[in-house]
Amino acid sequence: MKYWRVPLDMEEIEVSRGIVHIVEERCKGCGYCIEYCPRDVLEFSPKYNARGYHPPRVKRPEACVNCHYCETICPDFAIYSVEAPPDADPAA
């Protein structure tokens, strides 16, 4: 991330990390989470779910900051994020 000016307490602030969970069966492929993810974490998956929609998949797991926006904008209760444990490798 580029900063316009470096915050004074940058060393002390720990950026939160999140892990995105997708409930593929519920997804109707509207793409709201993909379009409005502020960190561009998601993309359409090429595979279909049981209802014939393309659910999202995680493109950049390390970028998620657990803001929950995907969770709040999803009309289908199909995506949510949880806080990653501090020492976990988010890409794993």
Partner 1 sequence: MEKTRTRSEHPLNDLLRTDRIPHIWCPGCGIGTAFSSCLVAVKAAGLDLRKTVMVSGIGCSGRGAGYTKLDSYHTTHGRAIPFATGMKLANPELNVVVFSGDGDLFAIGGNHFIHAARRNVDLTVVCVNNLNYGMTGGQAAATTPSMAKTTTTPLGNPEPPFNLPLLAFAAGATYVARWTILHTRDLTKSIEEALTRRGFSFVEVLAPCPTGYGRRNREKPLDSLKIYQERTITRNGANPAEVTLDFHRGITLGKFVDLERPTFLDAYEKVCSLTQ
- Residues near partner 1, by CB under 8 A: 21, 23, 25-26, 28-32, 35-36, 51, 53, 69, 71-78, 80
The residue (of 8 and 56) whose beta carbon lies closer to partner 1 is 56
The residue (of 33 and 41) whose beta carbon lies closer to partner 1 is 33
Q: SS3 letters for the chain? A: CCCCCCCCCCCCCCCCCEEEEECHHHCCCCCHHHHHCCCCCEEECCCCCCCCCCCEEECCHHHCCCCCHHHHHCCCCCEEEEECCCCCCCCC
The residue (of 7 and 75) whose beta carbon lies closer to partner 1 is 75
